[in-house]
């Protein structure tokens, strides 16, 4: 039996995330949505979702006294960050005139240029919204049965720019080539939404449920 905690700090699409995990988890696994630090401490695996503005996410996370439990979990156990739950693992975001983040990894979260163009010359809209190819830069247990170039669902105006390129687990293309997944030790964090990404997204979540936290 594995206890999987989905962190609730009021800034994530928690129902769809938790239901998707319940769908793929073993029948003996237990999935909880929680804002209790002790539940995060006691969990075997932690999922850290998020959506909205970086400043609001950081405010709610600290107001709920969840910043340190999340950081501890990211250092100790299988940990999956999703969307804003990936971005605020970095040092700082350009959003809201600049927002200090959790600083688990050194790096900046940057805004897409509003004047980006596709290869055919058409102007690209910001936010980046919809399905896009993900090109993995690593081999990893979380990628079992997921093909290179599989498409996942994105909704974001900002992208991660880690200081250490070795953190980049995958890249995608939207006007620029950008990091769309980070990985180190027991952490996998993705910009896209696996819970909204059909079969490949469910496979990623299934792999997380089975992952022992080793690369």
Catalytic annotation, residues: 83, 193, 195
Residue among 99, 86, 94 at smallest CA distance from 49: 86
What is the CB-side half-sphere exposure of residue 115 using CA atoms within 13 A? 0
- Concatenated DSSP letters of 8-73: -SS-S-HHHHHHHHHHHS-TT-EEEEE--HHHHHH-SEEEE---S-HHHHHHHHHHTT-HHHHHHH
The span from the CA of 205 to the CA of 191, in Å, is: 14
Instruction: Please state whether beta strands 105-111 and 90-93 pair in parallel, antiparallel, or not at all (unpaired).
Output: parallel
The span from the CA of 104 to the CA of 205, in Å, is: 22
The span from the CA of 167 to the CA of 164, in Å, is: 6
The span from the CA of 135 to the CA of 89, in Å, is: 21
């Amino acid at each position: 039996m594995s206890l999987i905690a989905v962190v609730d700090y009021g800034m994530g699409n928690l129902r769809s995330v938790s239901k998707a995990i319940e769908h793929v988890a073993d029948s003996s696994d237990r999935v909880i949505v929680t804002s209790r630090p002790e539940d995060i401490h006691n969990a075997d695996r932690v999922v850290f979702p998020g959506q909205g503005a970086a400043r609001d996410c950081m405010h709610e996370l600290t107001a709920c006294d969840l910043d340190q439990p999340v950081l501890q979990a990211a250092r100790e156990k299988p940990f999956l960050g999703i969307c804003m739950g990936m971005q605020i693992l970095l040092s700082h975001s350009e959003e809201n005139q600049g927002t200090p983040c959790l600083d688990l990894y050194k790096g900046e979260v940057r805004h897409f240029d509003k004047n980006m163009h596709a290869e055919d010359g058409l102007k690209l809209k910001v936010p980046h919204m919809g399905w896009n190819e993900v090109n993995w830069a690593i081999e990893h247990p979380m990628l079992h049965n997921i093909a290179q170039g599989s498409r996942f669902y994105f909704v974001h105006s900002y992208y991660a720019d880690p200081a250490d390129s070795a953190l980049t687990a995958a890249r995608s293309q939207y006007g620029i080539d950008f990091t769309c997944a980070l990985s180190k030790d027991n952490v996998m964090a993705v910009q896209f939404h696996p819970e909204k990404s059909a079969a490949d997204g469910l496979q990623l979540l299934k792999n997380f449920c089975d992952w022992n936290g080793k690369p």
